[in-house]
Structure 1
Amino acid sequence: MFPFYFSHNLFLHLKYRPDSTLVDKIVKDILKKLDCRTSSPNLKGLVGIERRTQQVVSLFQVGDLLKLGIWGMQGIGKTKLVEAIFYHVLNGFQNHSFLANVREHKESRNLSQLRKKFLSDILEDENLDISTPTIIPSFVKDRLSRKKVLVVCDDVSELSQFEFLFGGIDRFGRGSLLIVTTRNRQVLFQCGMNLIYEAKKLNKYESIQLFCQHAFKSNHPIEYQLGLSRMVLSFANGNPLAIKFFGSPLYGKNKNYQERAVKELKQIPNPDILKLFRSSFDGLNPVEKDIFLDIACFFKGEDRDFVTRIMEACYPSAYSRIENLIDNRLWIPEEIYDVLTKNNGTETLTGIVLDMSKLEKLELEPIAFMKMRKLRILKFYNSCGRTLLFKELLSLPDELRYLCWEGYPLKTLPSTFHPRYLVELDMSSSNLEQLWEGKQNLVNLKVINLNNSKNLVRLPDLSTATNLEKINLCWCFNLRELPSSLQHLQKLTLLDFSYCESIRSLPSFYKATSLTKLHLSGCSKLFSFPEVSSNVTELWLGGTKIEEVPSSIECLSNLRLLDLWGCRRLKSLPTSIHKLKSLEKFNLGDCSSLETFPEILDIMERLRDLDLSGTVLKELPFSIDNLIGLKILRLNNCENLVCLPDNFYKLKSLLHLSLCGSSNQVVKNLFTAIGHLPGLSSLKKLDLSESNLENLPATIKQFHLLEELILRKCKRLKSLPELPPSLVYLDAHDCTSLEDVSSIKKLFEQELFCEDGSNRFLQLKFSNCFKLGEKVVGNDIDAYDSTSVQEVSSFKNLLKQVVFSKSLGWLFTNYFQLDQKAVRSPETPKLEMPFEHMVTALTDHHQASPKSKKRACIITCVPGSGIPEWFDFKSLGSSINIQLPSERWSNNSWINFPCFVASVAVSFLDSYEGKGFRITSECHLKSCNGDNHDLSCSYSFSFGSRLRDHVFLVYDGFVLGSSLKVRHQTIVFTMWLPFISTLMSGIRPNAR
């Protein structure tokens, strides 16, 4: 039974109406309430709508009136979303009204009908008619202010529409909700919305699902359909309506038709799509249409600020007809080739953008641009070593606003070119020796980019470039002269002279008060510290020959980053360094002559990152505890450092400490400091690589927040003590003496069982730890009792064909059960020690109750070249295809298959030099009703040096959504690895 509450209006007339009228009114009221509680939208086929509805509803907060605005491009699903929200929250309101397609009701008469509908819905009075658009009678206002209502105003295009519908209405009842959808976000601000949500496009997986629903009437495509899906979705860009228009015509067609239709989309746009988005385009004013076409043709995907800068220079007040503009922009390589080589450009041409990689060669006549007097945008990019050929020096149009010519082949720009309108000049990787002779009118110029122009010798006089903001000249090796006019450019914010190896001196930048970033890294002939204003925030001086930092540096009150990396002549720092109160990052790495660091005489609370690696410091300042905000400290290869100061433990904010290559005494100092807790109690990452310790101090477990421990190339390290339970990453690569890692069993147990409720990713690296490979232990891996053996045998009969990629080599598989009895079996094969502890922990995890388990991921690796003997199924090919027996896929527990244990043995190619790679596990599930589900997970590795054969062991699982909780009949499992010549692996599904 539904509880019914009759409206207030119903009983206003109880005493004055006949019984028949009263009964009729009661019936209508009941039917209305029933309709509110039973009606709901048809969400079938609306991919992703439930997730988005929950996102929006979660933003609601109780208050007087919530005004929610939803905006997004046409076809993105705003109406479907607001409908879903409407029915989701409907029952919480006294009255409701949904005003659809407001954009189409532009005339006052139509808007009046919408207004009448709104008031009728909310006030339950069909005869109420208010003729004045902005004046509401006080009795109506009073009734509205006492009602908790839900109102949706869908597809509003102008503020005037909103004002006509709701003008004069001061407020609704407490807790009311007003939702407005629009394509134009600015309309929402004008309407006074206090919560704005952008309707998001579909993600990749949702897009594929929606496309397949319309194109193939299936949620998951087969292989060739997946290729079609990816091509179409690159055009649709997550727009649901576009995906529907692309997919629907393909349904029921044969494979050849579908493939041909998809390929034609690039040349022949779908007419429904053109009609859909044409209305949005037609709503733009003439200048906006011009800007839209320029961006669509020339600047798609470019930085917003960059595009804004160019457009502002091109359109101060331009008005043109859209019909003329469509043919006035060239971006198709073949068309550009014809225009430039046949000299048939016209005055109407306003832009050329050429991807030079699309043409084999292009020879330009001197008059190639002669007729293009209105050319504003010229961009040649992706030169890929291709050179444009010139018979003579060509001319360029003076109307250019944006000139980008990557790999420009001449030594100078044409002498007839007058860049008075030019906003951005980008000639990266050019052959320029200079831009031009003498002085030019450059009042509009904002950006100069000549990076990697290796022949550039000098810059011209830039005194007229009063609006210049950025200059990028990095990698201009032969640049020797900088004009003195640079110091007078008041709007200059960025100067990048990185790796200009010929620069010996700089002009003073003290008067360039807008300059915030100065890059001089790699200027190897620069001896003097630059003169800059106090507004500079970043100084990059690494690799220069600077010998001292002046005491006047204390005046740089806004300096946040000071990089002196590799300044090998620098011997000392001024005592005033502590006065840099804004400093956040200070890099002195590889300053191999730096002998002292001054005392920090005052608190420096903002310094977060300090790198002193490779210096010859003998001690750190006693006042180091004044760095109260320090989070990262690097002291790598400080060979002369003999100890840490007593106050070191007071660095309470320190998260990352790197002592790579430090002496044993320094490391012992560190662990002595642990006793002074809460000092160093925040430490999360500790790097002790290349130390000479034989054993880590047991007090390391007191770093109770430590997550990463790096012990790479600790050649004398023999054993590991009990490690902090917080640890999730251990790198012991190339610890060639390491033989006892029994303590890691606790880490496995911590990862597998619920203690703190967190899901973590445990990764342990023992690559090149060859003594671990030598030490083997009995009773390490499970055998089978009679039940397990019978169960495994049934799987053996099913695994008749195992396939794996020929480029990867052999695959060995075996499905087995873990149990305590098996672990004690004397016939059990032997394993390397890390695997022993992992398998023991997995045994306990397998037998534990589901409530005590948690989703976990563990990865470890040790030297080795083969999978243990109990992996006894082998074959060549690309994947393992498992047909499950009916008694298996009818058992609900089998849905938890995607938890697995895998072992992979790899032999690295000679070309592998230690760079990062990924192991990817892919699982394809096919249910008994024919549905397909694809899952994957991957793991990153990086070793930094060559490796011999190694064995990886992975315990992980795939996250299953509710849609995958079905009975599966077929499972295909694949593991992919790069850099290998042979591969052996095993996989075990494990019910959780």
Structure 2
Amino acid sequence: MASSSFSAHVFRYDVFVSFRGEDTRNSFTSHLLKALDGKKVVTYTDYKLENGDEIAPALWKAIEESRISVIIFSENYASSPWCLDELVHILECKERYQQFVIPIFYRVNPAHVRQQRESYAAAFSKHEERFKDRMDKVLKWKGALTIAANLSGFDSHAISNESELVERIVKAILMNLDRQSSSDLTGLVGVESRIQKIESLICISPQDVQVLTVGIWGMGGIGKTTLAGAVFNRLSSHFEASCFLANVREESEKCGMKHLRNELLRELLKEDSLSIGTPSIGSTFVNKRLSLAKVLVVLDDVNVLNQLEYLVGDQVQFGPGSRIIITTRDMQLLKDMQVLRKGVDHDVKIYEVQKLNCNEALQLFHLHASQEISLGEDSTMFLRAVVDYAAGIPLALQIWGSLFRRCKSKQERESLLNKLKIFPDKKLLNVYRISYDALDENEREIFLNIACFHKEEVIDDAKRQLDACGLFADSGIKILIDMSLISIKHEYGRNCLWMHDVIQEMGWAIVHEQCPEEPGKRSRLWNLEDVYHVLARNTGTEKVQSISVNLSKVKELNLRSPDFKKMYNLRFLKFYRRYHVNQCNVSLNLKSLPSALRYLCWPAYPLKSLPSKFSSENLVELSMPNSQLQRLWNGGQNPRNLKRIDLRYSKQLVEVPDLSKSVNIEGIDLRGCIRLVEVPSYFEFLHKLASLNLSHCSNLRFLSDMPHNMKFLNLDNTAVEELPSSIFSLEKLVELNLECCEGIKNLPNSTWKLNSLTSLYLCGTSIEGLPLSIECLSGVVSFQLKFCKRLVSLPTSICKLKSLERLSLEGCSSFKHFPEILEPMQRLEDLSLSLTDIKELPSSIENLVGLKRLRLYECKSLESVPNSIYNLNLAIFALDGCCRLKTLPPSSVILWSSIRGLDLHGCLALEEIPDCIYSLTSIWRLDLSESMIKSISPTIKQASGLRFLYVSNCKCLQSLPELPYLLKVLDASGCTKLKTVSRSMTALTQGLEEILDRHEQHLFYDCVTLDENARSNIVDDAYLRIMRTATANYHASLLKKCQSEGSEFSDEKSPSVAVVCPGDELPKWLSYQTEGCSIKVKLPLTWCHDANFLGLALCAVVTTHNPCWLDYGFNFVFKTINGESHQFNHCARTYERARTGWGGNISDHLFVWYDSLEEVWSTDFNNAIEASFEFFAQNKRHVGGVRSAVGYCCVKGVESACCLLTTAQMLKLAEVRFQLPLMK
């Protein structure tokens, strides 16, 4: 992969060998060096004895000038500071120069190296003593060993024969050197990683006799030919013969396929005069020679299958191990070849070329643009605009870089960029026009529609609209994807159509070319100015087929009296606002609409009806949500092609439109049409109707019989009191929603006929029970009975619902008894009995064998749960607000191996829970707040998975034991009797990999009875947590720098720590201290680039009244070397649970924060030389929150402190103050 540095790096040596002389100098290392020398590999080996602590500059330079570093880890390698310094520098060169590193584990276990165990542990015990004043150096060594041991290498335990081990190492070195030198990638960016992926598909192996084809597929300009050429240059030496046929599409049109085939044969058989004029290779001798040759063939820019059949089809037999590389824009061509080769000893693989990422795109643009643009301080926004616009297409970046090179000023560059967005460069458009010209008529129409109307639209919506216009969307979209003209983008859980901006602009240009002067003579209108021009001036013609305009940028579009008469071929008309569907304001006096219309979308339609002269015969889809319609149309309409109608929230609509002739109607959406009273009787005869939504038609009382094809029926919040019996005979019905139909009092026994039903919503109805036939609904997955306040019980036959996954009785306030579960229910995962009147659960609850989530919150009558509850494999068990629950049943064995959350918040009578619950290793969140517990079992230390512990407002709690070392959040606020808090003495690097990207909080607001020892423990623990989080972040930074790909570390916000407790003394280890709310500190010039800089610790002592309604934090102001000031806010993250039920005492509280400031590193003010920090308090009760530093009504006084943290400082303090066993 291209280096981020643009200067060439000179390599003098092929290999640098790092080894411990006393272990391997005269044995393994000498054998390896002799073998490398025999292969003419230039090695650098330092034969000097390792004396002293510092490596000579010449050795550092030798490492930097070597292409490959080989590290021989032996028993005593770690005992040498010299070797460890070599190792650190090798890894730095790996990052800086993409140097290849090969670790060899010679008679040592890789795990011992990685984790510093056995002889490596003994070595570091001595190092820690010897370098106790330079612990940052020791930390670097340990990090380097961990990183190096994770790299791919060789283990002598796996290859016990030493000569074979040497042979394999030499072979790996030669392959890598060959890879580095066989292809010149100068000027190419991002190519190396892509080449490696193609090589992995090509899979060259002496044992492989199969002929393999690899298709390189992607849109025009993405670099297919470049990649194929680089792979060809790199691999051609591995084959007996090779040929690169460039521009197959273009050359076949110019010279014919016979010419191309003859060129291929001449190159492969090394016979300049060879010429075959027949369609097939008639010569058996030629075929025989080809079948014996292992060849590499590249066919560049293939566009039809016939070309492949002619050049490398069945008639052409290549020798075993041959490889064929094809570049194409057409995925289907490669798929067809896969089908043709199926069952033959010839495999076909496909590689999709990925676009350049942001950094790669910037590098490529830098190479082609002027140095002024690359280095200018005002260029950041411009460069981002160019890169975003290019969207990772190399050809666009190369062409634009050359164009921008001519620009002399910022104004010229911005002007050119704006021009390109309107008038794209013709060279670029011509590349993509090739793909468009190869399309059939259906695909061309779909392509232009997507370019003009449907980019970034949900694919199902776009398909529906395209189909409505008489196009074949499914097959057309598939072909466009295969041709790399469009793609599918996954956004917010939806699949959307996506098209590169340049390709979209090509589509616009094709439409624009139809008539550059007059928009009314083009097939498609989408630009607001063009649409206004045509409709306001009535310049439309029969050429206009589609109009779609986004009105988001105008408050109102005043069209007066647009005349659509001349646009009699208009099939598609769509007005819309992207995010405000009910604010599509168009003011007009509409006299007519074309009868050719097939798709009409007009949200917030302003008139009372459609024009009287409009004929709906061709209409396929009508969408007019939030309209002012009173009646859609008058009688006499024949909408026989209509499939969907959407009039939702048309609150003036007084009757359902006459759809009696709409025999093809599939979906009707009338939700929120509050003036509708009844559904017409003819609905029963709309035999294709599958979806009817009448939700929130609050005056709808009468419902007709429904057609037998109905699948989705929504009557949510209607006034319907009785359902037609036919509804319970709808064998295809999948979802029935009767939520908040208060008039529904019962269900008939005929429900057994609903054998396709999967979702049944009866929430808020007046039903008192369920019919026995409910047991026949074997396909129901979700059964919702929330807030059925008259429901008393469920039949025991509920256990017959074998597909049931979710059952909710939440808010059924009359529900007293949960039925006995007589048979195991395997699929029920979620059961909510919250806000019911149950007093107990049956012991047969254990038959809910698949149950994962059981919710019983605010069950105020619940007094106990059965012992059998422990036999369930629960993940979530919520009992919050069960104020009569005194305890959980005792048990020595609990089978909750997967429990993640146990919520006992507000269980006011709860005094204790079984000790074994505290020690569950799977529990992640435990909430005991506002209970009467007096103590927490010391076994909680064993709960290794616990991350959140809430004990706030536990007024009887007197002590906290030592807690799990990876606990993320502890809220003990308001525990007014809490006296003792145990210290959590944690090793510095314990659990580092689990601490990354964490935000830790330990809150002790208003714990006024804490003794001095407890407060000291909390402050010490705060320091340890800061140190551990900072160290974890340091390790993460090392790994990110040294690992080339595949990092598992998150890119979320940087880690932080916040601790609050009563106290009035600032910790002594904070070096900057002051009275007042602000601190100013000088920053070292290189603070942001210093690998040893760990972040910032901040502290404040605040005298405050009722702190629970305040958020606290600091305003950061950074002053740069240029005199600029930049500000951002850092607010301590707090949890709402910690905000209620406290007293209003005036007391001193100590606030401690840590932040790594990584967000600052990546900004424009990382060259700051001075920083100031001002403490603030923010009232969360006020909308918007008023911030104040000093003088805030609740804040009486502030003392502040801060400290810039480094590895040496933290490690030394940890050892001196806490006597910590570092890095064990």
Bin the TM-score by the shorter chain: 0.7 to 0.9
- Give the structure 2 partner of residue 375 of structure 1: 570
Structure 2 counterpart of 1:198, which letter? E
Gaps of 5+ in 2: 1-36, 41-174, 339-346, 477-506, 713-733, 968-984, 1040-1048, 1122-1127, 1143-1148, 1179-1183, 1190-1199, 1209-1224
CA separation of 1:688 and 1:329: change in aligned 2, threshold 3 A? same
CA contact (8 A) 2:920 2:943 kept: no
Q: Distance in 2 between matches of 1:552 and 1:488?
A: 28
SS at match of 2:216: strand
For 1:49, give the aligned amino acid: V
Secondary structure in 2 aligned to 1:647?
A: helix
Q: Does 1:160 align with 2:309?
A: no
Q: Does 1:753 align with 2:989?
A: yes
With 261-270 and 394-403 compared, the bigger mean Cα shift is at 261-270
Q: Which residue of 1 aligns with 2:1146?
A: none
Is residue 2:293 matched to residue 1:76?
no
Aligned-residue sequence identity (percent) comes to 35
Question: What is the alpha-carbon distance in structure 2 between the residues aligned to residue 687 and residue 227 of structure 1?
Answer: 49
Counterpart in 1 of 2:1024? 840
| Aligned 8 A contact 1:451 1:474 in 2 | yes
The 1-side partners of 2:675 and 2:943 are apart by 56
Q: Which residue of structure 2 aligns with residue 681 of structure 1?
A: 897
Q: Does 1:943 align with 2:1127?
A: no
1:379 CA displacement: 1.4
| Distance verdict in 2 for CA 1:244–1:108, change over 3 Å | closer
Question: What SS does the aligned partner of 2:594 have?
Answer: coil
Kindly report which structure 2 residues correspond to 1:495-644, keeping only aligned pairs within 5 A, or say none. Answer: 495-504=692-701, 506-507=703-704, 509=706, 511-512=708-709, 514-515=711-712, 516-523=734-741, 527=745, 533-644=754-865
Tell me the CA shift for residue 727 of structure 1.
3.0
Equivalent pair of 1:356/1:386 in contact (CA under 8 Å): no
1:378 touches 1:402 (CA, 8 Å); kept in 2? yes
Contact 2:947–2:966 under 8 Å retained in 1: no
Residue 436 (structure 1) aligns with? 633
Which residues of 2 match residues 726-741 of structure 1 at below 5 A?
A: 726-727=944-945, 729-730=947-948, 732=950, 735=953, 737=955, 740-741=959-960
- Asked if structure 1 preserves the Cα contact closer than 8 Å seen for 2:373 and 2:379, the reply is no
Which residue does the alignment assign to 2:678?
481
Which among 743, 747, 762 is matched to residue 962 of structure 2? 743
In the alignment, the residues of structure 2 paired with residue 247 and residue 407 of structure 1 have an alpha-carbon distance, to the nearest angstrom, of 46
* Structure 1: distance between partners of 2:404 and 2:691: 53
1:987, 1:399 → 2: CA distance? 74
Tell me the distance in 1 between the aligned counterparts of 2:1202 and 2:393: 42
Secondary structure in structure 2 of the residue aligned to 1:155: strand
Distance 1:368-1:969 versus aligned 2 partners, 3 A rule: closer
Matched residue, 1:102: 248
2-side partners of 1:39 and 1:755: how far apart?
42
Q: Name the SS of the counterpart of 1:771 in structure 2.
A: coil
Relative distance call for 1:668 and 1:460 in structure 2 (3 A) is: same
Q: 1:384 to 1:849 in 2, by over 3 A?
A: closer
1:299 aligned onto 2:454:
yes
CA–CA distance in structure 2, aligned partners of residues 161 and 971 of structure 1? 65
Shift of 1:123: 5.3
Matched AA of 1:43:
L
- 2:320 and 2:1160 mapped to 1: Cα distance? 41
Letter in 2 for 1:837: D
Is 2:333 the counterpart of 1:333? no
What pairs with 1:224-239 in structure 2 (closer than 5 Å)? 224-239=378-393
Shift of the 431–108 alpha-carbon distance from structure 1 to 2, 3 Å rule, reads same
Secondary structure of the corresponding residue to residue 622 of structure 2? strand
What is the alpha-carbon distance in structure 2 between the residues aligned to residue 391 and residue 955 of structure 1? 58
Counterpart residue type for residue 376 of structure 1 = R
Q: Matched residue pairs, number?
A: 886
Look up the SS of the partner of 1:380 in the other structure.
strand
Alignment of 1:83-162 (within 5 A): 83-86=229-232, 96-107=242-253, 109=255, 111-119=257-265, 129-135=275-281, 149-162=295-308
* 2:883–2:906 CA contact under 8 A, matched in 1: no
**Could you say if the C-alpha distance between residues 316 and 81 of structure 1 is closer, same or farther in structure 2, counting changes exceeding 3 Å?**
same
Aligned to 1:395: 592
- The two structures have a TM-score, normalised by structure 1, of 0.75
Distance 1:360 1:521, change over 3 A: same
Structure 2 partner of 1:895? 1091
In structure 1, list runs of 5 or more residues that go unmatched.
5-32, 781-829, 927-934
What secondary structure is seen at the aligned counterpart in 1 of 2:552?
helix
2:397 to 236, 240, 243: 243
Q: 1:848 to 1:758 in 2, by over 3 A?
A: closer
- The question of 1:862 aligning with 2:1060 is answered yes
Q: Could you tell me whether the CA contact under 8 Å between 1:500 and 1:523 is conserved in 2?
A: no
Report the counterpart of residue 1072 of structure 2 in structure 1.
Answer: 872
Q: Deviation at 1:359?
A: 2.9
Please state whether the residue corresponding to 2:783 is helix, strand or coil. strand
In structure 2, relative to structure 1, the CA distance for the partners of 1:429 and 1:97 (3 Å cut) is same
- Aligned partner of residue 1006 in structure 2, secondary structure: helix
Measured in 1, the distance between the counterparts of 2:1154 and 2:431 equals: 50
Deviation of 1:248 after TM superposition, in Å, equals 3.7
Residue identity matched to 1:333:
L
| 452-461 vs 179-188, greater mean Cα deviation | 452-461
Structure-to-structure mapping, 1:778-789, within 5 angstroms:
none
Residue 812 (structure 1) aligns with: none
Instruction: Give the aligned residue type for 1:641.
Output: L
Q: 1:409 to 1:770 in 2, by over 3 A?
A: same
Alpha-carbon distance, 1:681 to partner: 0.4
For the structure 1 residues 705 and 577, does the alpha-carbon distance in structure 2 shift closer, same or farther, using more than 3 Å as the test?
same
SS of residue in 2 equivalent to 1:746 = coil
Is 1:145–1:171's contact at 8 Å kept on the other side of the alignment?
A: yes
Deviation, structure 1 residue 413: 2.9
1:905-949 Cα distance to aligned partner (Å, 9 max, x none) = 799xx9x999999999999999xxxxxxxx999998763786999
Structure 1 46/525 Cα, relative in aligned 2: closer, same or farther at 3 Å?
A: farther
Q: Structure 1 residues 901, 567: CA separation in 2 closer, same or farther (over 3 Å shift)?
A: farther
**Aligned to 2:395, what secondary structure does the other structure show?**
helix
**2:876 aligns to what?**
656
Cα distance in 1 for partners of 2:1079, 2:251 equals 60
Residue of 704, 714, 734 corresponding to 2:921: 704
SS of the residue corresponding to residue 225 of structure 1 reads helix
What TM-score, normalized by structure 2, do the two folds share?
Answer: 0.62
Matching residue of 2:136: none
Whether the 8 Å contact between 2:559 and 2:588 is mirrored in structure 1 is: yes
Shift of 1:166: 0.7
Q: Residues 410-457 of structure 1, C-alpha deviation per residue, up to 9 Å, x if partnerless?
A: 333334333232222221222234433557433433333233333334
Greater shift, 184-193 or 55-64, is seen at 55-64
Name which of structure 1's ranges 488-497 and 604-613 shifts more when overlaid on structure 2. Answer: 488-497
Distance 1:519 1:615, change over 3 A: same
Contact 2:805 2:828 in 1 (8 A): yes
Structure 1's 389 and 83: CA in aligned 2 closer, same or farther, altered over 3 A? closer
Q: Does 1:446 align with 2:664?
A: no
Alpha carbons 2:630, 2:652 under 8 Å: kept: yes
In structure 2, the CA distance between the partners of 1:522 and 1:222, relative to structure 1 (3 Å rule), is farther
Match of 1:10? none
In the TM superposition, residue 127 of structure 1 has moved relative to its aligned partner by 5.9
How far has the Cα of 1:86 moved from its partner?
4.8
Name whichever of 405-414 and 539-548 sits farther off: 539-548
2:418 to 263, 267, 289: 263
- The residue type equivalent to 1:943 in the other structure is E
Distance 2:200 2:1113 in 1: 37
Stretch of structure 1 that moved more, 500-509 or 860-869: 860-869
Whole-Å Cα distance in 2 between the matches of residues 582 and 599 of structure 1?
18
